Amino acid sequence: MKIGIIGATGYGGAELVRILNHHPYTDNCILYSSSDEGKAYDASYPHLRNIAQQSLQPLHIETICNEIDVMFIAAPPGVSGEWSPKLAEAGIPVIDLSGDLRIQNPAVYEKWYKRQAAPEETIQNAVYGLAELQKEEIQNAKLIANPGCFPTAVLLGLAPLAKNKLLQDSFLIVDAKTGVSGAGRKASMGTHYSELNDNFKIYKVNEHQHTPEIEQQLAAWQPGTGPITFSAHLAPMTRGIMATMYTDAPPGMSSAQLREFYSEFYKDSYFVRIRPEGEFPATKEVYGSNFCDISVTVDERTNRVTIVSVIDNLMKGAAGQAVQNLNIMNGWQEETGLMMTPVYP
Amino acid sequence: MKIGIIGATGYGGAELVRILNHHPYTDNCILYSSSDEGKAYDASYPHLRNIAQQSLQPLHIETICNEIDVMFIAAPPGVSGEWSPKLAEAGIPVIDLSGDLRIQNPAVYEKWYKRQAAPEETIQNAVYGLAELQKEEIQNAKLIANPGCFPTAVLLGLAPLAKNKLLQDSFLIVDAKTGVSGAGRKASMGTHYSELNDNFKIYKVNEHQHTPEIEQQLAAWQPGTGPITFSAHLAPMTRGIMATMYTDAPPGMSSAQLREFYSEFYKDSYFVRIRPEGEFPATKEVYGSNFCDISVTVDERTNRVTIVSVIDNLMKGAAGQAVQNLNIMNGWQEETGLMMTPVYP
Amino acid sequence: MKIGIIGATGYGGAELVRILNHHPYTDNCILYSSSDEGKAYDASYPHLRNIAQQSLQPLHIETICNEIDVMFIAAPPGVSGEWSPKLAEAGIPVIDLSGDLRIQNPAVYEKWYKRQAAPEETIQNAVYGLAELQKEEIQNAKLIANPGCFPTAVLLGLAPLAKNKLLQDSFLIVDAKTGVSGAGRKASMGTHYSELNDNFKIYKVNEHQHTPEIEQQLAAWQPGTGPITFSAHLAPMTRGIMATMYTDAPPGMSSAQLREFYSEFYKDSYFVRIRPEGEFPATKEVYGSNFCDISVTVDERTNRVTIVSVIDNLMKGAAGQAVQNLNIMNGWQEETGLMMTPVYP
Amino acid sequence: MKIGIIGATGYGGAELVRILNHHPYTDNCILYSSSDEGKAYDASYPHLRNIAQQSLQPLHIETICNEIDVMFIAAPPGVSGEWSPKLAEAGIPVIDLSGDLRIQNPAVYEKWYKRQAAPEETIQNAVYGLAELQKEEIQNAKLIANPGCFPTAVLLGLAPLAKNKLLQDSFLIVDAKTGVSGAGRKASMGTHYSELNDNFKIYKVNEHQHTPEIEQQLAAWQPGTGPITFSAHLAPMTRGIMATMYTDAPPGMSSAQLREFYSEFYKDSYFVRIRPEGEFPATKEVYGSNFCDISVTVDERTNRVTIVSVIDNLMKGAAGQAVQNLNIMNGWQEETGLMMTPVYP
């Protein structure tokens, strides 16, 4: 299968290249770029010397059809809104890693993203690609809205409760921490080394654009779920997300029962690992892999539950899940090309 | 004034030496150590070459009285339980940086610390040294239980609410993040560089021994305050604590009003800085200083408040506050010797 | 093929498990440990949950013969000196990652390692496994002394000169920098997070035990090569080695000619990448991979050459090269199971 | 004394503010900026909330004379070439932290800096401000070219040899490592967090613009000193420089003699600390301070000397030395306002 990538010069794109380089059913990717057309890709990413020797290709809708079978879009906001319809018309399935097609309600999108929403028809055609939980929809999709990094960690952590209507309506707090690579490769004061090293920051308090994505999916699973409290924090590390989630425990459920319930819920999901009693995951333990590791525990003093979920934001939170969706769309085994062991330490 | 330090070879002790070295009213410290007696202090801490040229002294109660006027104890658990009574008898005021004398109820101490409590009389004599809020008690104290690092950040963040009985009884979540120096200088797998670098961990979920210290003080300010949910996280950095706190907002209070209320509450506290609207503190912004920076914001969608509080765990969270207490005890200006500007970047 | 690992609980052992887990010609490894016998391996390394579910096995020479076909030894000094002869007698090939069998002259070993050398016969039987340059010897070996991390980076950087007798006899300076994982998993003050983070150290100036290993091989290639100057530095990072090497340029060779000469020298070596003009490698560009990236440049002002060589110390500097040697010993393609792309960023 | 700073929004400027804030003989600084005129300084640097409450002032030569007594220029290249003459004319002494006035030969400047040199007269008027070694010239200067960060570390490490004509003419290698703050506050791909974290890079091999500054001073001390080999490396840390220097040892000098010779040379220099035998400095051991720590050792096997010198690049390598020069110019004690103890850990 021939794969195209729009936006290959970003970190999400580079991670797609790293994965697809060893995928047994795909050829070398074609990497598109309007701005850097003709440039050698490994000049941008010297770690790919002798590995990815493609040069960046111009993006012409006429030729694309003959060149590729599936397109990944790993570009800044706005690009998928423009290209998804064109590619749909050309019959090319699309997996979109941007946030443009995830929010069903354009008004909600515009409030949180502070920019115009994609065409409504495009949004309606997009299937939300949370791989473990939307397998059937994904199998039949031509257009996938690949979930955001924070929503992936959060929703995998909450799905066993929400899908069983066990979320309590009192409060739901999500305290999320991310490595800096989630901000992409574009240089800015906010990603400047000296400003972040040995430093811990909080940002977008109650204002992060991933909030409505989480709320939309929770409400789809358990109608009536109210707004969440969401804070994003920046940790001095490159990769990794930890979401620490707090809510009231489902009545009558002990720590052991809840952990068993989570294990049962994910028993067929290779990439979700529920940790044993007393063990909590660290971000490095999924580094470079497609795993999502989860711990749950109920505090008997307060009857509140603490759920901890970790992923590699560039893998399960972006490129890894995108390839998982490619596998599902094509009827291949979900783990194909994604079995890499976490790199530790 | 002549100062003694028991436990000077730990990080808390080294930070005391760094501060007191420039304190205008104190002489060179006498550094006590039973195990390393006679050893040059700067052999342990070469950054103090030509600065702290003392050698470590044996700890004999008979001679101590003639040598020092005040003792800081920055030693592992158990030491202050043994030495505080002896020093009290000898008439030497003590500022204890360990957790041994902070919990009034020995049964609670023993449950959380999993070790025997200090003698009850000693505990009863100790004044909890949260400098900004206990000034009067501290002025008259001979024995100070210097607050823990997490409790300092948390309690300064919640005091304006709790002291005004504005904490809501629904829920109170504290998601705390710390740098690694809080674990002290003792090598262990849990503080091994390769295990922590580029990694983010959660530990002691609902089990951290600072939990009862926070609860005890909140209940003293606002009786009836229930148990909190507390999680500690380890960030890949050396210094700094951020406590992110979530609770229901006091009815009818907007973000602006709450911020104004906090500013008013701390208007005479030099070391507490309430950040302006839209600005949240980062740990590096208090690095090496005695400041505690706080932001508060109410989310109108959920009517929940998010309070963010940062300190340098070795300064305001340990040695800095200890010297602040020394100043208060002696009637000196609170800021004496503690005006160091944060080192940034 | 059935593989055994002695010393699997160290970082070198864990990296062997990560690699061999996807090697097409090997079964699940058997992990030996005398001290942790019976313990689940993933309790030590939770990143391997659901991946490496072996428990640690006792080490009995009688049963080993029936269990494995090849043994890797990734244990502390002393172990391979004891076990290599036993395994040789049992007819089991050994790849030893320790430094015990690398130095041919026991007196030299004892001077630099400050401990007793292994039995002379065992040392004489060992082939130095610098994979790119000793292929023939390795193919026929039963006992491999896998090179040290620094020597691998240094020798690959100097081989084109030394093997062609082009090293000048004026001076040879090696300024080497390493990440902390090279020190292993054992906790100590020297690997304590707070002592190393945001810090840069130099250690073992002119005293590093890898010095004679480098000198021995250089002298084997170009007899008469004199002693080198070697300094080891500790950089605040987990993985990666950079060796910056300085010497007089071979007379009459320009930068371009020297680079071409290096490229030609390594044209059949997949894992050695010579960088184009003006591009110098960074350690992260080989992270998690078996590559060694090299740049060479001649300074026209001084007629001195600067050679820069980077590897991942746990991969090409340890486990990766060990598996490369396994491949060569067995007549498999050298790259088998080692094609992982560097994880970047 | 009233101090002005041009370029206060950079890291060098912020460090000047941090120091001068506690300097006993200076008032609050006036901070000049043409681009950010009117903006509050602490909006750029929230760590200075409640500390530096100035707003940025427009730069008018007419008013400056009435406002300040001395000007620091901590601005990008080009600014001091323009402003130094104007300020000289107005009779205001200048301490320039940029590289513009350090190189006496304009052709050399233009070759290495790849930009036009400052007016020759201005350059000739400038005194090179290596504080420990040029005290007399500095006392009488009206215009100081404050040394670069690398040259400060290197020259303090070599001065005892060069000033005594003990540098051997065989070779001189300087392998320098720096934290990222040396690159300033301007965001770029080269200072992007995800590109640098957990990574070690080499840059400007034989091309760093600090090379001629070092060579010029060495030749001034020991005429005939030839070109050096200089490599700059970027370590994943914020502050700190280590220069590791290699050359042939002065004939007949042992390690102990050389160390003694260095100690004697610097016996009146408070900020230079020669480390005892077997102890080498780490960058964190001078963090936030004005110290330069040096070790020297002779390798008996090779008769080469290894000199290690560390500084905080923003302090001794920039703002600290600039204030030291201010002190010397004014006849104040050199250490005034600069006694801060290194922040460790």
Tens-digit pLDDT profile for residues B224-276: 998 999 999 999 999 999 999 999 999 999 999 999 999 999 999 999 999 99
Rg (CA), chain C: 20
With a cut of 90, say whether residue D152 has pLDDT above it: yes
* Shortest Cα distance, chain B CAs vs residue D344, angstroms: 7
3-class DSSP string for B168-213: CCCCEEEEEEECHHHHCCCCCHHHEHHHHCCCCEEECCCCCCCHHH
Q: What does pLDDT average to over chain C? A: 97
Domain ranges of chain C: 3-125, 150-313
Chain A and chain C share a number of CB contacts under 8 A equal to 79
Q: Is B238 on the interface with A (CB under 8 A)?
A: yes
Give SS3 for A7: coil
A185 neighbourhood in chain C, CB within 8 Å: 345
Minimum CA–CA partner of A297 in chain B: B205
Q: Is D194 on the interface with B (CB under 8 A)?
A: no
Report the residue from D229, D240, D280 with minimal CB separation from C205. D280
D247 neighbourhood in chain C, CB within 8 Å: none
Mean pLDDT of the A156-166 span: 98
Q: Is C293 on the interface with A (CB under 8 A)?
A: yes
B308 neighbourhood in chain A, CB within 8 Å: 202, 205
A23 neighbourhood in chain C, CB within 8 Å: none
With a cut of 90, say whether residue C33 has pLDDT above it: no
Residue length, chain A?
Answer: 345
Bridge pairing between strands D201-203 and D229-234: antiparallel
| Contact at CB, D343 and B287, closer than 8 angstroms | yes
With a cut of 90, say whether residue C34 has pLDDT above it: no
Least confident span in C264-268, D57-61, D204-208:
D57-61
B215: nearest Cα among B227, B230, B207:
B227
CATH of A150-313, one of 3.30.360.10, 1.10.287.540, 3.40.50.300, 3.40.50.970: 3.30.360.10
| Contact at CB, C18 and A343, closer than 8 angstroms | yes
CATH of B3-125, one of 1.10.10.10, 1.20.120.1150, 3.40.50.11540, 3.40.50.720: 3.40.50.720
Q: Is B46 on the interface with C (CB under 8 A)?
A: no
Q: What does pLDDT average to over chain A? A: 97
ipTM over 0.90: yes
Output the pLDDT for position A303.
97
* Catalytic position from the list A29, A65, A149, A292: A149
Interface test with B, best of A149, A180, A200 (most B CBs within 10 A): A200
| Contact at CB, B189 and C193, closer than 8 angstroms | no
Residue A30, beta-bridge partner list: A4
Give SS3 for B46: helix
- The B residues from 160 to 189 touching D (CB cutoff 8 Å) are 181
A181 neighbourhood in chain D, CB within 8 Å: 194
Per-residue pLDDT tens over the stretch B5-52: 999 999 999 999 999 999 999 988 999 988 889 999 999 999 999 999
DSSP symbols for C293-321? EEEEEEETTTTEEEEEEEE-TTIIIIIHH
How much of chain A exceeds pLDDT 70, in percent?
A: 100
Minimum CA–CA partner of D237 in chain C: C198
Output the pLDDT for position A164.
98
With a cut of 90, say whether residue B135 has pLDDT above it: yes
| Contact at CB, C22 and A341, closer than 8 angstroms | yes
Q: Is D275 on the interface with B (CB under 8 A)?
A: yes
* Catalytic position from the list B29, B65, B149, B292: B149
With 0-12 / 13-18 / 19 or more C-beta atoms within 10 angstroms meaning exposed / middle / buried, residue A252 is exposed
The half-sphere exposure of B42 on its side-chain side, counting CA atoms within 13 A, is 18
| Contact at CB, D345 and B181, closer than 8 angstroms | yes
Mean pLDDT of the C302-309 span: 98
Minimum CA–CA partner of D211 in chain C: C301
Interface test with B, best of C44, C192, C203 (most B CBs within 10 A): C192
* Two structure tokens written together for B315: 């300064």
With a cut of 90, say whether residue D28 has pLDDT above it: no
| Contact at CB, D287 and B47, closer than 8 angstroms | yes
Mean pLDDT of the D78-105 span: 95
With a cut of 90, say whether residue A48 has pLDDT above it: yes
| Contact at CB, C345 and A284, closer than 8 angstroms | no
Output the pLDDT for position B120.
94
Minimum CA–CA partner of B189 in chain C: C187
Per-residue pLDDT tens over the stretch B48-99: 999 999 999 998 988 888 899 999 999 999 999 999 999 999 999 999 999 9
Q: Is A194 on the interface with D (CB under 8 A)?
A: yes
Under the banding of pLDDT at 50, 70 and 90, the label for residue A28 is confident
Q: Which helix (H) or strand (E) holds D256?
A: helix D255-265
Mean pLDDT of the A1-17 span: 96
* Shortest Cα distance, chain D CAs vs residue A197, angstroms: 7
Minimum CA–CA partner of B47 in chain C: C195
Under the banding of pLDDT at 50, 70 and 90, the label for residue A301 is very high
* Shortest Cα distance, chain C CAs vs residue D41, angstroms: 27
Give SS3 for D44: helix
| Contact at CB, A200 and B242, closer than 8 angstroms | yes
A180 neighbourhood in chain D, CB within 8 Å: 193-194, 197
How much of chain D exceeds pLDDT 90, in percent?
A: 95
Q: Which helix (H) or strand (E) holds B336?
A: none
Mean pLDDT of the A89-98 span: 96
A100: nearest Cα among A86, A91, A90, A110:
A110
CATH superfamily of D150-312: Dihydrodipicolinate Reductase; domain 2 (3.30.360.10)
Give SS3 for D120: helix
Mean pLDDT of the B96-118 span: 97
Mean pLDDT of the C105-113 span: 97
Compute CA distances B156 → A130, B142, B245, B293, B317, whole Å.
41, 23, 11, 9, 11
Minimum CA–CA partner of B312 in chain A: A199
With a cut of 90, say whether residue A188 has pLDDT above it: yes
Do the beta carbons of residue A241 and residue A203 sit within 8 Å?
A: no
Q: Is C59 on the interface with B (CB under 8 A)?
A: no
Output the pLDDT for position D172.
98
* Shortest Cα distance, chain D CAs vs residue A244, angstroms: 23
| Contact at CB, B236 and A231, closer than 8 angstroms | no
Mean pLDDT of the C269-288 span: 98
Output the pLDDT for position D308.
98
The half-sphere exposure of A204 on its side-chain side, counting CA atoms within 13 A, is 19
Compute CA distances A127 → A78, A143, A338, whole Å.
18, 6, 22
Compute CA distances C163 → C7, C130, C221, C225, whole Å.
34, 13, 5, 11
With a cut of 90, say whether residue A206 has pLDDT above it: yes
- The D residues from 146 to 165 touching C (CB cutoff 8 Å) are none
- Cβ atoms within 10 Å, residue B328: 23
Chain B and chain C share a number of CB contacts under 8 A equal to 62
Q: Is D66 on the interface with A (CB under 8 A)?
A: no
Q: Give the catalytic positions of C in this structure.
A: 149
* Shortest Cα distance, chain B CAs vs residue A105, angstroms: 17
B285/B316 Cα distance (integer angstroms): 13
- Cβ atoms within 10 Å, residue A136: 10
Output the pLDDT for position A163.
98
With a cut of 90, say whether residue C12 has pLDDT above it: yes
Per-residue pLDDT tens over the stretch B197-222: 999 999 999 999 999 999 999 999 99
Output the pLDDT for position A34.
80
B287: nearest Cα among D326, A180, D111, D343:
D343
Mean pLDDT of the A20-36 span: 92
With a cut of 90, say whether residue D34 has pLDDT above it: no
Per-residue pLDDT tens over the stretch B139-166: 999 999 999 999 999 999 999 999 999 9
Do the beta carbons of residue B320 and residue B135 sit within 8 Å?
A: no
Output the pLDDT for position C28.
81
